[in-house]
Amino acid sequence: MGLFKKKIKQEHKVMLQHDRAAGALLPEYHRPTPECPHPEQWSMLDSMTAELEVLEFLATLVTTIKPRLVVETGSFLGVSTEWIARGLQRNGFGKVISCEYDPIVYEKAKARLQGSPLAPWIELRNESSLEMHVEGTIDLFFSDSDMPIREAEVKRFLPQINPTGIILMHDASSHLKLVREAALKMEAENLLSVVLLPTPRGLVIAQPRANRH
Ligand SMILES: C[S@@+](CC[C@H](N)C(=O)[O-])C[C@H]1O[C@@H](n2cnc3c(N)ncnc32)[C@H](O)[C@@H]1O
């Protein structure tokens, strides 16, 4: 072994933390923001997986708008994918395609989901959101990959998103900045109508502006 230990990738570190926590909930520890001064009132499994309340919201949104096709970018361990699938299972139709770029994380998510009763609703792909091809109209798009590429991935999939569909962009709080700015920029470009939910990590709910009536 050399003098310097190889720096362990953040995703892999949090993956190990997730295993050690074994499903125990923690108070959300992202820092307070003007729009969300009490993040500790929210819960989380780990710092990569969306806040528990956001996971619950995903399932409820799926039962509310009844999407045929959901696309998620950034599966991580597939926890948010499962919550989306839970909604689809209740609806009795639809599927979620979720992509994870990192092959180690992808294998872990695949192993977690194998044998799950929710697996029939899920298509997990080891691909980048910037390269993945999806057939058909997307009714719900959940953007939760790497923050600097969120604008590019939303723009890439926008032509395929149903005009009555919903786009969610996670990590859009004022302290994380990048995603919030990307969403507001796309609104200024007349591409999206945007609502900023005041959650600990921030959540954008948006709809394409084109073809609205
Ligand atoms: C915040 S985590 C996703 C959390 C997950 N959606 C959840 O709430 O359970 C972001 C994930 O996106 C992955 N990622 C980063 N760049 C990506 C890309 N271009 N395409 C797909 N996945 C990507 C990372 O490896 C990481 O696992």
**Which residue, judged by its Cα, is nearest atom 16 of ligand 1?**
146
10-25 pLDDT, tens digit per residue, is: 899 888 888 888 888 9
Q: Name the residue among 159, 88, 152 with its Cα closest to residue 120.
A: 88
Query: Using a 6 Å cutoff on CB, does residue 80 contact ligand 1?
Result: yes
Q: Name the residue among 80, 132, 75, 84 with its Cα closest to residue 104.
A: 75
Mean pLDDT of the chain: 94
Q: Which residues pair with 122 in a beta bridge?
A: 96
- How many Å apart are CA 80 and CA 58, to the nearest integer? 8
Query: Using a 6 Å cutoff on CB, does residue 130 contact ligand 1?
Result: yes
Query: Using a 6 Å cutoff on CB, does residue 134 contact ligand 1?
Result: no
From 14, 48, 141, mutation site for ligand 1 pocket: most ligand atoms within 8 A of C-beta: 48
Asked if 116 and 99 count as a contact pair (C-beta separation under 8 A), the reply is no
Query: Using a 6 Å cutoff on CB, does residue 71 contact ligand 1?
Result: no
Tokens of residue 33, six digits = 């923001």
Q: Name the residue among 86, 36, 25 with its Cα closest to residue 61.
A: 86
Q: Please report where in the chains the tokens 């520890």 appear, as a residue.
A: 29
Query: Using a 6 Å cutoff on CB, does residue 144 contact ligand 1?
Result: yes
Residue 192 reports pLDDT greater than 80: yes
Residues across the chain:
213
Burial-class residue 45 by CB neighbours within 10 Å (0-12, 13-18, 19+).
buried
27-61 pLDDT, tens digit per residue, is: 998 899 999 999 999 999 999 999 999 999 999 99
pLDDT-derived band of residue 3, with 50, 70 and 90 as boundaries? low
pLDDT-derived band of residue 5, with 50, 70 and 90 as boundaries? low
Query: Using a 6 Å cutoff on CB, does residue 98 contact ligand 1?
Result: no
Spell 50-67 as b/e; 16+ CB within 10 A means b. bbbbbbebbbebbeebbb
- How many Å apart are CA 2 and CA 22, to the nearest integer? 33
pLDDT-derived band of residue 6, with 50, 70 and 90 as boundaries? low
Q: How far is the CA of 105 from the centre of ligand 1 (A)?
A: 9
Residue 177 reports pLDDT greater than 90: yes
Query: Using a 6 Å cutoff on CB, does residue 143 contact ligand 1?
Result: no
81-118 pLDDT, tens digit per residue, is: 999 999 999 999 999 999 999 999 999 999 999 989 99
Strand locations in the chain (E)? 26-27, 43-44, 69-73, 95-99, 122-125, 138-143, 161-170, 192-197, 203-208
Domains along the sequence of the chain with CATH: 50-208 (3.40.50.150)
Residue 1 reports pLDDT greater than 60: no
Q: Is the backbone of residue 134 left (phi > 0), alpha (psi -120 to 50) or beta?
A: beta
The pTM (predicted TM-score) of the whole model is 0.95
